[in-house]
Chains A and B, each alone.
Chain A
């Protein structure tokens, strides 16, 4: 199986503080990989480095064999990044926003098809032609998920994708993620929601103070620590780390 994402001894320093300490992991194609950790553990920093928007201090990251540090333009063609609390251009309608993004990936009929796919994924109905500043948080998140997925990325990078959403919206977005993974898209996502990660992710990496302290399937980790839930595993792993 092809490796979608390979991190080798990745470190990130902010000023004089090292935020990520030599993280190494490999994610095969089609996997949903969850990064869990408390606030400030380094999850977002890792996702931002994979997304080419933060420089790697040392180590290497490869997305489908393309080096993030030396081939960022190539990597950007393969990925789609959805930041935590991301927004959209509020003066645009949902449809115009999706078209704006699609213009960077395709032209003509292909672009139109991409936009239609985005509209379908967002499931916003006639609200797709409303201005974005009229959207609720759930609607905005659905639009952004649609934006991230309609371009058919090979690697979707999702940061706290269901954060702040109600039960229904969160459920629907998880369904979308499951479906895209089935279609061959690799997903790396961060979350505070252990329940969500347990249900959704094929494998999980636990981050604490910039270190990858555990990695495995939810079942493997629960078995290793003799715990019922991933939440208990995380607490035990962090306290024991």
Chain B
């Protein structure tokens, strides 16, 4: 064996520890799972949304060749959409007949993403315009108002409903155009697009706002949906790294044993380390936050300020109390991170192994960051929600979304969970500091020895 091979073998053996291999495997699993979640969201955006249609009964367009009924058109469109879930038997579950009054309640009741309401003049406008062809003047179009319900829920919020509904109105236009024209029709804008679908209304927390779509709101909210989770992830990883490295250094520099024999309570040592790491981590975190704010602000499409939409008018901004809740949530999540890190740090043999120990923390911050960014709490299924809730770092990431949704229960529930989590993890840390594991490591634990002993027998 050459000298080079000898050195390479030694280095590879040092680098490929069970810890580092496990971390890589976990990351692969994590990204595969995230791929699945994102894929789900993308597939959600490609299936037909539940649509409500109102005021169509008296607005049927009648010509010599027959009649054009918006409801019947939608039914046929849905049946032939290629969406495997929709059949002629169950299409009424996807295309809902609605009354033009109290659209919001009907949308909520039927879980409809969008509602199309034909104006009272729809039929009249189209028929008048048809009769006027060749005489000039103004061609009035048949108006269809679009109603959406906006739910802040990650990057995908709003884009699904707005995008698909845009297509619905285009298809309706094409269909009606073909119905009223025929092959030899002259080019007139009205004949190409007889329907005016530009009137959009979006319900935000029960209140209707005109001329704004969920997609536009979602785009304007990008700054918050990306910025907050990223900052929280950075702060948590930073304070976590500080605490674990501090423990690793104490062991490597052989100062831990001295510290443990000083006349101070274990809880004082644990608390001191936690507070110091929290302060330093927060200082670093705030510095990063400013840096990131400038960076994100420089990317125009991500900037809140670049949007024409005033989030405050839509009720999509936080008041002082809500900012306070967000701050408390961030503080508690840092406390939880420090609790976890003190436990992990207790097992670090030295500074190098302490670096590997930060991997579980990274995974626990990356999971909620991606989920919050892409689908959010309200766009996730029960399993994902359970995972999100269980990870304490999710709560400040989800807090903005929950507060904008008026879901105070989720925020308070998250705070209560984080308090319990932090207290339990600090109790475990104090117990660890009071045990032999801090000095001897896991290698001399009877359970570990049993596992190793069984392993040897098998070999």
A residues in contact (CB < 8 Å) with B:
14-17, 48, 51-55, 73, 76-77, 79-83, 85-90, 101, 104-105, 147
In angstroms, Cα B394 to Cα A128, docked, is: 48
In angstroms, Cα B453 to Cα A181, docked, is: 46
In angstroms, Cα B260 to Cα A17, docked, is: 25
Pick the 5 closest A-B CB pairs, nearest first: A15-B449, A14-B444, A87-B253, A81-B261, A87-B254
B80 within 8 A of partner (CB):
no
B6 within 8 A of partner (CB):
no
B258 within 8 A of partner (CB):
yes
In the complex, which of the residues B258, B438, B446, B449 has the most CB atoms of chain A within 10 Å of its own CB atom? B258
Question: Which residues of chain B from 234 to 259 have any CB-CB distance to chain A below 8 Å in the complex?
Answer: 253-255, 257-258
In angstroms, Cα B74 to Cα A178, docked, is: 99
Residues in chain B near residue A89, CB distance under 8 A: 253, 255
Q: Is the CB of A52 within 8 A of B261?
A: yes
Residues in chain A near residue B445, CB distance under 8 A: 15
Q: Is the CB of B254 within 8 A of A54?
A: no
Stretch at the interface among B27-35, B160-168, B262-270, B383-391: B262-270
22 A–B pairs (Cβ distance < 8 Å), ordered by A: A14-B436, A15-B449, A15-B450, A16-B446, A16-B450, A17-B444, A48-B257, A48-B439, A52-B260, A52-B261, A54-B436, A76-B261, A77-B263, A81-B261, A82-B258, A83-B257, A83-B258, A86-B255, A86-B257, A87-B255, A104-B262, A104-B263
Q: Is the CB of B254 within 8 A of A86?
A: yes
Q: Is the CB of A79 within 8 A of B261?
A: yes
CB distance from B348 to the nearest CB of A (A): 16
Q: Is the CB of A76 within 8 A of B263?
A: yes
Contacts A83-B254, A83-B257, A87-B253: A73 and B265 contacting too (C-beta < 8 A)? yes
In angstroms, Cα B252 to Cα A85, docked, is: 11
B22 within 8 A of partner (CB):
no
Q: Is the CB of B262 within 8 A of A76?
A: yes
In angstroms, Cα B253 to Cα A89, docked, is: 7
CB distance from B60 to the nearest CB of A (A): 83
A13 to B, closest residue via Cβ: B446
Apart from A15-B444, A80-B261, A104-B263, what 14 extra A-B contacts exist at CB < 8 Å? A14-B440, A16-B446, A16-B453, A51-B257, A53-B257, A53-B438, A53-B439, A54-B440, A76-B263, A83-B254, A83-B257, A87-B253, A88-B253, A89-B253
CB distance from A74 to the nearest CB of B (A): 9
B440 to A, closest residue via Cβ: A14
Q: Is the CB of B436 within 8 A of A15?
A: no
In angstroms, Cα B439 to Cα A85, docked, is: 14
Q: Is the CB of A73 within 8 A of B263?
A: yes
A83 to B, closest residue via Cβ: B257
Residues in chain A near residue B440, CB distance under 8 A: 14, 54
B258 to A, closest residue via Cβ: A86
Q: Is the CB of B263 within 8 A of A54?
A: no
In angstroms, Cα B259 to Cα A88, docked, is: 10
CB distance from A11 to the nearest CB of B (A): 14
B448 within 8 A of partner (CB):
yes
In angstroms, Cα B440 to Cα A53, docked, is: 10
In the complex, which of the residues A17, A55, A76, A101 has the most CB atoms of chain B within 10 Å of its own CB atom? A76
In angstroms, Cα B253 to Cα A79, docked, is: 21
Main SS class of interface, A = loop
B253 to A, closest residue via Cβ: A87
In angstroms, Cα B250 to Cα A87, docked, is: 9
CB distance from A53 to the nearest CB of B (A): 5
Q: Is the CB of B263 within 8 A of A105?
A: yes
In angstroms, Cα B258 to Cα A86, docked, is: 8
In angstroms, Cα B260 to Cα A32, docked, is: 24
CB distance from B258 to the nearest CB of A (A): 6
A15 to B, closest residue via Cβ: B449
Q: Is the CB of B254 within 8 A of A55?
A: no
Q: Is the CB of A15 within 8 A of B258?
A: no
Q: Is the CB of B264 within 8 A of A104?
A: yes
Residues in chain A near residue B446, CB distance under 8 A: 15-16
In the complex, which of the residues B257, B446, B448, B450 has the most CB atoms of chain A within 10 Å of its own CB atom? B257
Contacts A14-B440, A55-B435, A55-B436: A81 and B258 contacting too (C-beta < 8 A)? yes
In angstroms, Cα B253 to Cα A87, docked, is: 5
Q: Is the CB of B261 within 8 A of A54?
A: no
1/0 per position for B417-459, CB-CB distance to A under 8 A? 0000000000000000001101110001110111001000000
CB distance from A102 to the nearest CB of B (A): 11
Question: Which residues of chain B from 186 to 240 have any CB-CB distance to chain A below 8 Å in the complex?
Answer: none
A77 to B, closest residue via Cβ: B263
Residues in chain A near residue B258, CB distance under 8 A: 81-83, 86, 101, 147
In angstroms, Cα B440 to Cα A77, docked, is: 24
Residues in chain A near residue B436, CB distance under 8 A: 14, 54-55
Residues in chain B near residue A16, CB distance under 8 A: 446, 449-450, 453
In angstroms, Cα B265 to Cα A95, docked, is: 24
Q: Is the CB of B261 within 8 A of A85?
A: no
Residues in chain B near residue A104, CB distance under 8 A: 262-264
Residues in chain A near residue B449, CB distance under 8 A: 15-17
Contacts A14-B440, A73-B265: A90 and B253 contacting too (C-beta < 8 A)? yes
B446 to A, closest residue via Cβ: A15
A57 to B, closest residue via Cβ: B436
In angstroms, Cα B440 to Cα A147, docked, is: 24
Residues in chain B near residue A79, CB distance under 8 A: 261
In angstroms, Cα B258 to Cα A87, docked, is: 9
Q: Is the CB of A15 within 8 A of B448?
A: yes
